[in-house]
Structure 1
C-alpha cells in the first residue's frame, strides 16, 4: 500500500457573468458572481508516478460577494460543471485561499 493515502482538495474561483441553472436546484437560479468550486482527488495507487483521480466536485452557494449568509455546498458532476462553464462563458479567476 502507498504511503500517500490522503485526499487533496483544489479550490478555484469561477466568475459567472449571468444567472445560471444547476441540475439539482430546480426552480432556483444562482445570480451572476464569483463562486468557489472545490474538487476532491485521491491518489491512484499502483502507478510508478504520482497521479490523482477526481472523486467529487462541489460548488459553494451563495456567491462569494453575498458572504456567509446561509452558505451551503452542492455536489455537481464534473461533466455538468464543464457544460455549465461552457454554456455560460464562465471564467476561472484563480485559486481560492
Structure 2
C-alpha cells in the first residue's frame, strides 16, 4: 500500500480552536496535510484516510517556529464551520 499526501492551505478569519490543540490559534493561513493509503486488490483506485495534520506556530515561538499536530478531519471541518459562521463585527 502506498501513502499519498495532499497539501492544502486553509484560512481562518478569526482566532480558533481545534479539538486536540490546547490553545487558541490566531486567524490566518494554515497548511493542512492529509495522508491516504491506497487500497490494493480492487479493480479501481480507492484510498483510505490515514491522518490529517495541521502546521501551527509552536507554543511560545511568536510565530518563528512551526509544529505539525495530528487532528481529526471532522474537528477541522467543525472549526472551519464555526469560523465561517462567526461575526466579523
Same fold per superposition (TM over 0.5): yes
TM-score w.r.t. the length of structure 1 is 0.75
Q: How many residues align?
A: 81
Residue 60 of structure 1 pairs with residue 55 of structure 2: yes
Distance of 1:70 and 1:78 partners within structure 2: 24
- Shift of the alpha carbon at 1:70? 1.9
Q: Which residue, out of 58, 66, 69, partners 1:71?
A: 66
Post-superposition CA distance 1:25-63 (Å, at most 9, x none): 22x11100000000000001221101111100000012x
TM-score by length of 2: 0.82
Runs of 4+ in 1 over 4 A off after TM superposition: none
Deviations along 1:58-79, one digit per CA (max 9) or x if unpaired, are: 00012xxxxx722100100111
Q: Runs of 5+ in structure 2 lacking a partner?
A: 58-62
- Distance in 1 separating the partners of 2:41 and 2:80: 33
Alignment correspondent of 2:33: 38
- 2:9 counterpart SS class: strand
Specify which structure has the bigger relative contact order, considering alpha-carbon pairs within 8 angstroms and separated by 6 or more residues: 1
**Distance in structure 2 (CA, Å) of the matches to 1:25 and 1:79:** 14
Q: Which residue of 2 aligns with 1:65?
A: none
Q: Which residue of 2 aligns with 1:16?
A: 12
